Amino acid sequence: MRRTLIKSITAVGAAALLTLATACSNEREGSSGSDSAGGKGFSKGSLIGVALPAKTSENWVLAGDLFTNGLKDAGFKADVQYAGASTTVADQQAQISSMVTKGAKVIVIGATDASQLATQVKQAKDEGATVIAYDRLITNTPDVDYYIAFDNFKVGELQGQALIDGMKAKKPKGPWTIELFSGSPDDNNSKVFFEGAMKVLKPLIDKGDIVVGSGQKDIKQTATQGWKAENAQQRMDSLLTSAYSGKKTLDGVLSPNDTLARAILTSVKGAGKPVPVVTGQDSEVESVKSIMAGVQYSTINKDTRKLVAETVNMIKSLQKGDKPTVNDTKSYNNGDKVVPAYLLPPVIVTKKNAAEAYANDPKLAPLTK
Ligand code: BGC
């Protein structure tokens, strides 16, 4: 029908129609998989809930402050909550329910346990709120509208590649001996980071160029419950005792984030072993210092300021009744549906590019001088 119409109108009219058609198809793309979100809009000054997990890394601490200020500056009322350190799941469930009861129009959730929020997000949807999964996906529920995060699979790939590069720089010829660590099993990201890293590492492991000293290659064996430093340190202690006695050395450790990287390095130091190449993530202050001192090898820059700003933009679109922009409609199947996602690019940081990577970060730039 569109063709017949175009034939019968002038060139100017055709151009206008084309613009309209493009706008419509863009809108369709933006809305795919999220029929329930957007559309009606809501009044400015509405309440927005932000439920964050426990403060297991600096990025979460920063996110809370940025949401409080960013939402206020955008004219919303903000209710920003963290799950407590021990009763994380129950805390977060109660916080989300309370946000729904208070009439929040959008609820942004950094899940403490991906699979334990189905009841609360259903409650949110039933009351007409839009649910945005922030940084961590919420699984096994149709009631999550959008996902916003840095590209987690890419994070893993960058970590795997950094591990290889770092080991090659120290010892040009393999085989290299490594250990693998992954994050908390209740965080959907842990699996994605690990899979990204293994995509890069597995071919070398299969060839025998990389050897996992302990033989522990399964994600279950490598997990770090609660993303807790003490759990990573304990596991590293016991790996060193069981698989690295005498002069046996360790060339590298895949660590999924900075908190765990520092715990692993503490353990290796305590055992009197040479410092291996250790990866990380989050650009935490102590890790950036360690990288500049030549101890930790790498981290990942996921600028929390950008992630929060983009989330606030999503909320502004929803307020106006527009569909928020997404750029990935295939990667994040949560077990129930593919959640439309807006993904930002992560950046690998080593001593070499730290000054450049943090040039616009007033907190980190001075550390690289
Ligand atoms: C985040 C990481 C963080 C980890 C522990 C993950 O979900 O993506 O940046 O290091 O949680 O807090």
- Position 88 scores a pLDDT of 83
Two structure tokens written together for 228: 């807790």
Ligand 1 nearest-atom number relative to CA 57: 12
Pairing relationship of beta strands 298-301 and 347-350 according to DSSP bridges: antiparallel
**57 touches ligand 1 (CB under 6 Å):** yes
**227 touches ligand 1 (CB under 6 Å):** yes
List the residue whose alpha carbon is closest to atom 8 of ligand 1: 135
- Position 86 scores a pLDDT of 76
CA of 208 to the centre of ligand 1 (A): 31
Q: Which residues contact 137 (CB under 8 A, 6 or more apart)?
A: 111, 114, 144, 147, 149, 188, 189, 332, 334, 339
CA of 246 to the centre of ligand 1 (A): 35
Ligand 1 nearest-atom number relative to CA 189: 7
Distance CA 20, CA 12 (A): 13
- Which amino acid would we find at residue 299? T
**283 touches ligand 1 (CB under 6 Å):** no
Which pLDDT tens digits describe the chain residue by residue (369 residues)? 333 333 333 333 333 333 333 333 333 333 333 444 556 899 999 999 999 999 989 999 999 999 999 999 999 999 999 998 777 899 999 999 999 999 999 999 999 999 999 999 999 999 999 999 999 999 999 999 999 999 999 999 999 999 999 999 999 999 999 999 999 999 999 999 999 999 999 999 999 999 999 999 999 999 999 999 999 999 999 999 999 998 899 999 999 999 999 999 999 999 999 999 999 999 999 999 999 999 999 999 999 999 999 999 999 999 999 999 999 999 999 999 999 999 999 999 999 999 999 999 999 999 999
**257 touches ligand 1 (CB under 6 Å):** yes
Does residue 164 contact residue 199 with C-beta atoms inside 8 Å? no
The residue written with tokens 């693998």 in the block is 180
Two structure tokens written together for 97: 């329910």
Query: Of all helices (H) and strands (E), which one includes residue 52?
Result: strand 47-52
**319 touches ligand 1 (CB under 6 Å):** no
Q: How far apart are the first and last CA of the chain?
A: 63
Ligand 1 nearest-atom number relative to CA 193: 8
Distance CA 192, CA 157 (A): 10
**159 touches ligand 1 (CB under 6 Å):** no
Architecture of domain 153-302+349-368: 3-Layer(aba) Sandwich (3.40)
**59 touches ligand 1 (CB under 6 Å):** yes
CA of 357 to the centre of ligand 1 (A): 19
- Position 37 scores a pLDDT of 52
Ligand 1 nearest-atom number relative to CA 256: 10
Q: Is 53 helix (H, G, I), strand (E, B) or coil?
A: coil
List the residue whose alpha carbon is closest to atom 9 of ligand 1: 282
Ligand 1 nearest-atom number relative to CA 59: 9
The CATH code for residues 11-150+303-344 is 3.40.50.2300
Distance CA 247, CA 189 (A): 36
Q: Among residues 51, 85, 60, 54, which one has the least CA distance to residue 302? A: 60
C-alpha angle 362-366-367 in degrees, rounded to nearest 5: 120
**82 touches ligand 1 (CB under 6 Å):** no
Does residue 194 contact residue 212 with C-beta atoms inside 8 Å? no
Out of 55, 56, 343, mutate this one to test ligand 1's pocket (max ligand atoms within 8 Å of CB): namely 56
Ligand 1 nearest-atom number relative to CA 150: 8
One fold for both 11-150+303-344 and 153-302+349-368? yes
DSSP summary character for residue 136: S
CA of 57 to the centre of ligand 1 (A): 7
- Position 9 scores a pLDDT of 35
Distance CA 223, CA 144 (A): 26
Whole-model pTM: value is 0.89
- Rounded (10°) CA dihedral 62, 66, 67, 70: -170
Q: Is 97 helix (H, G, I), strand (E, B) or coil?
A: helix
- Position 87 scores a pLDDT of 79
CA of 97 to the centre of ligand 1 (A): 24
| CA 240 to chain centroid | 30
- The alpha carbon dihedral of 266, 271, 277, 280 has a sign of negative
Q: Which residues contact 341 (CB under 8 A, 6 or more apart)?
A: 146, 147, 148, 149, 326, 327, 328, 329, 331, 332
- Rounded (10°) CA dihedral 96, 150, 138, 36: 80
Instruction: Delimit the domains of the chain by residue range.
Output: 11-150+303-344, 153-302+349-368
